Chains A and B, each alone.
Chain A
Amino acid sequence: MRRLPRILLVLFILPSACRKNLPVTPPLTPRAFGTQIAEQSGGKQASGVGARLADPVVVQVNGADGNGVPGALVAFHGTGLTFNPGQILTDDSGQASTVVQLGDISGNYQVVAETPKSGGGTVMASFREVALGYQEKVGKEVSEKYCTMCHDPESTPERVSNFDNLAPPSPHLFSDGSVLNGMTDTDLIKIIADGGPALGKSPQTPAYRTTLTPAEIRAVVAYIRAISDPPYSVPPAK
């Protein structure tokens, strides 16, 4: 009989231990309500699959007067994503911040930040994060070594960007989907392998055919497609 409580305890713990997303936190109670929510920073980041994003995701909750609302409840969710914390009250300036861990599959993830309104219902802000798979991570490494010094105006302090030193035309950011989404994979591979003149463009883009392997060139294209803004979608087969 003395063992019964212990067995009962085990029976009680077992199902809860088997549930995912442990530990479960009790819901927070909002002290105030906002009427609008917007991304402040941390959207459109790219990191490896399963990794935490480098910067936290921060959203701003404002009231009808446009001022920040402290103490409003913000819940974060998104398929495949893990948030720490998953819900939080806004700080003195009306901001809520969370650390995001990406899922194990490469591609786009949608972060949704939701805050309740005073009369019921919620307002939401949603934005995109990118998980890079193996090929895209290799592409990122290659592009940081060979490409970003000209294609990214904000490359690291020590490798002062060469972007501003170039004669026109200016290089495109690799995330510039408005232009690069209009180019086919074949054209991107061609311009990387054979340089700008191969597509009738500036010789400031050198040819990398003998410097990079075909796999590395394809990896750079995969990376460009992954971080493209607006997102790239594969054109339908003709």
Chain B
Amino acid sequence: MICHHGQGAAATVQEAHYSTKAWEQPILPARYLEASCGQCHMEQLEGTPQLNSGRKLLARYGCAHCHAITQPDGTLILPVDEPPSLEHVAEKTTREWMFAWTKNPQAYAVSATMPNFHFNDQEATDIANFLMRQSTASENSKVAATSNTPLPSADQAAVDGPGLYGTLFCASCHATQNSKGNLMGGDLAPELTRVGNKANPDWLRRWLRAPQGYDPKTRMPRYRYDEKQIALLTAYLLAKKDDDFLANAHPGPSDEQSIARGKKLTADYGCAACHRINGVAPPEGFAPDLSRIGSKPLFQVGFLRGMPETLPDYIAGKIRDPRAFGPALKMPSFTLADGQVESLTTALLAQTDQAVTMPPELVRATSHAKYHPGGDAGKLMEDLRCQSCHTINGNGGDMAPDLTREGSTVQRAWLLDFMRNPDTLRPALIRRMPKFNLTDAEIKNLSDYMLTAYQAPGFDSGALQSETLNAVAATRGKEIFYSKYACQSCHIANYKKDKGYVGPALADVGDRLTPVWIYKWLKDPQALVPETSMPNAHLTDDEARDLTAFLMTLKARKKGGGK
């Protein structure tokens, strides 16, 4: 009953398995099976990919901004998206853009996560007018926008821009649509396909120089671009526009009545639940609490005509098209794929009465770490927003490697070099670490901090006797690398002959990693990085040592390295 629900005993298969209107709690359809696991388990189970992804989506798509969702371990689902502050929005864009965006965010950017509220022209006008009116001056506006460096011409930007955009790895976080209409790039930050329709040139220059001066909570790092780079990037980005996009955006006039109506709409639709807006406080308890949605009694549910009258179908229907349940409802329409709706439904079905009242000893809680590095290096890492992409001690993004044990992993010389000129270790990845143009002093400061603070226990050099890593061992290691374990299928040890493309290239791994790390990694990769796809080959101690000895001979700086 905990896992499959259902009415219990029945006289026929039909009665036991299928929903009839009389059944309050019919058997849980197989496609939402994982919901039952979520009643006790808060942690990411390997067997529940759909539940895990649903819970991530609840946080990622901002559901938790409006709905309170208390999980069985007593913690609230916290939103992880960072909708932009609108406190200074008049610096960033125009009333026309705001009007068009408010009406239909996906018309501006197909990948926009802002939902569609189906506002009519008048409502969109009022909201745009109010948002422009409430906007105040940001810290950034106190700095001169234009430097002595003029913006290059559009033609020049079209020639030089793509190269700079590429080498700075903007695409690690920002996507653009290519000529075939496919999105290329990351989803950590807004899509830039039509950013020229939105961004004010002065604002863009100041933003590229110091994003945190406009929005202190932004995830965008402060790059150390020089003025020439900023000018070129600004010109290149401003050219990314669609001349038709704003052609039909004609908001009505801006007057006091319209602004007052806009303020009311902003409050009525809970805009401040996601965005910071001057003069509008974030609403509390704005939307129904979903902590027990999975046990919602069916007599409280208003089904649509023709839809199957079950709770899973109701929840999925509400997520897919909320306004179908009543034009006066406030919930906006999200752009979600079928699989995402199914995942979200699964995660919500786990929120049952049973889960809330579960004895605490049955509930497997998760930890909510809020680690931030300290000291000068900590400030620098905050400025560079390292944790937008990297997790450290349980806090941070998941796009880039976890740095919690980086100090035990890499060699100092390599780290200094990498910070100066980051390059990907994985040939197949599009997303790479961007270049921050750090000074030598900053690089030294950061590296020293990471090598000291991010140490793992048991990784001191005593864990592996260095004299055993000799040439004889290396020869044996090379032999098993290529024949017994065929490591070259996934890794490149020698660029001239290996083609493996899955794991990181190892051609200079002897410069990069510490021998102790390599040894422990080979013995049990999942012990160091639980989610890695590197298989644990179950090596003997001798094999792991021989392979370590071989890998330590792979050095780039040696002339003709790799043999």
Contact = CB atoms under 8 A, between A and B. Distances in A.
Interface string A102-136: 00111000000000000000000000000001100
Interface stretch (B45-53, B85-93, B248-256, B451-459): B45-53
Contact of B535 (A162, A208, A213): A208
A203 B486 contact: yes
Interface stretch (A4-12, A45-53, A227-235): A45-53
Interface stretch (A58-66, A69-77, A138-146): A138-146
Contact of B306 (A23, A133, A160, A197): A23
Interface in B28-67: 29-31, 33-34, 46-47, 49-50
A162 B502 contact: yes
A207 interface: yes
A158 B399 CA distance: 13
A135 to B, nearest CB: 9
Contacts of B339: 51
A206 B485 contact: yes
B484 A216 contact: no
A204 B526 contact: no
Contacts, number: 93
Interface residues of A, number: 42
Given A134-B30, A206-B537, A211-B536, A160 B501 contact: yes
Nearest to A18: B21
A166 B430 contact: no
A149 B502 contact: yes
Summarize A's interface: helix, strand, loop or mixed.
loop
Given A52-B338, A138-B49, A162 B490 contact: yes
A158 B34 CA distance: 29
A183 interface: no
Contact of B486 (A145, A204, A208): A204
Given A158-B429, A162-B501, A49 B485 contact: no
Contact of A211 (B306, B484, B502, B535): B535
Contacts of B29: 49-50, 104
Contacts of A179: none
Given A160-B428, A206-B485, A213-B46, A49 B30 contact: yes
B535 A146 contact: yes
A165 interface: yes
Interface string B534-549: 0111100000000000
A79 interface: no
B499 interface: yes
Contacts of A150: 489-490, 502
B213 interface: no
Chain B contact patch, size range:
35 or more
Contacts of A133: 30
B148 interface: no
A197 B486 CA distance: 11
A159 to B, nearest CB: 6
Nearest to B428: A160
A202 B536 CA distance: 17
Contacts of A149: 501-502
B483 interface: yes
A133 B31 CA distance: 8
Nearest to B31: A50
Given A158-B430, A216-B46, A51 B31 contact: yes
A48 B535 contact: no
Contacts of B430: 157-158
Given A159-B428, A207-B537, A213-B46, A106 B30 contact: yes
Contacts of B486: 202-204, 206
Contacts of A54: 338
A225 interface: no
B267 to A, nearest CB: 38
Nearest to A210: B536
B489 A166 contact: yes
Given A133-B30, A138-B49, A141-B49, A165 B501 contact: yes
Interface in A148-190: 149-150, 157-162, 165-167
15 contacts: A23-B306, A49-B29, A49-B30, A51-B31, A54-B338, A105-B30, A106-B30, A134-B30, A138-B46, A165-B499, A203-B483, A209-B538, A210-B535, A210-B538, A211-B536
Interface of A: 22-23, 48-52, 54, 104-106, 133-134, 137-138, 141, 145-146, 149-150, 157-162, 165-167, 197, 202-204, 206-211, 213, 215-216
3 smallest CB-CB distances across A and B, nearest first, come from A165-B499, A50-B31, A210-B536
